[in-house]
């Protein structure tokens, strides 16, 4: 069955960078878009953007700074979220989730990656 497996928790200092991976299995990777969703501690869900796994074209939520970059390694069915110049307020759980545009929304989620930014 479809599965998204994310990389493990990260502890980083302010100003550092981190790259979170999201590996897909059990389905045709190029058929579904990969979305990134952020959840700050004790808060709700925030859609950060998406990357079209067929074209490689990313779309970022308005207001999301250039700190955040989505990328793919399609031959290994993996999507990445890279966050640069980390700030304490970037501390959150980051989820990847697939959707089938025009059909089902986020029907398969990664387990989440906790990124903690602390000096």
Cα 51 versus chain centre, distance = 9
In the bound complex, what is the minimum distance in angstroms from residue 1's beta carbon to other proteins?
10
In the bound complex, what is the minimum distance in angstroms from residue 65's beta carbon to other proteins?
15
DSSP 3-state of 70: strand
Residues β-bridged to residue 68? 83
Stretch that binds other proteins, among 11-19, 71-79, 83-91, 109-117 (CB under 8 A): 109-117
Number of residues that bind other proteins (CB under 8 A): 22
Q: Please, which of residues 34-93 interact with other proteins by CB under 8 A?
A: 35, 37, 44-47, 49-50, 59, 61-62
The answer to whether 26 contacts other proteins (rule: CB under 8 A) is no
- Which one among 12, 69, 112, 116 touches other proteins, defined by CB under 8 A? 112
In the bound complex, what is the minimum distance in angstroms from residue 101's beta carbon to other proteins?
9
DSSP 3-state of 75: helix
Q: What is the DSSP letter of 29?
A: G
Q: How far apart are CA 11 and CA 14, in angstroms?
A: 10
Q: How far apart are CA 12 and CA 22, in angstroms?
A: 19
How many C-alpha atoms does 66 have within 13 Å on its Cβ side? 0
Residues binding other proteins (CB under 8 A): 35, 37, 44-47, 49-50, 59, 61-62, 95, 97, 99, 104-107, 109-112
């Amino acid at each position: 069955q479809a599965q998204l497996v994310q990389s493990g928790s990260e502890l980083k200092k302010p100003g550092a960078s981190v790259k979170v991976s999201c590996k897909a299995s059990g389905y045709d990777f190029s058929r579904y878009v990969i979305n990134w969703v952020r959840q700050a501690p004790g808060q709700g869900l925030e859609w950060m953007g998406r990357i079209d796994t067929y074209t490689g074209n990313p779309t970022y939520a308005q207001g999301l700074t250039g700190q955040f970059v989505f990328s793919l390694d399609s031959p290994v069915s993996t999507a990445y979220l890279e966050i640069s110049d980390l700030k304490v307020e970037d501390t959150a759980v980051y989820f990847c989730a697939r959707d089938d545009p025009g059909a089902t929304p986020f029907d398969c989620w990664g387990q989440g990656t906790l990124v903690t930014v602390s000096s």
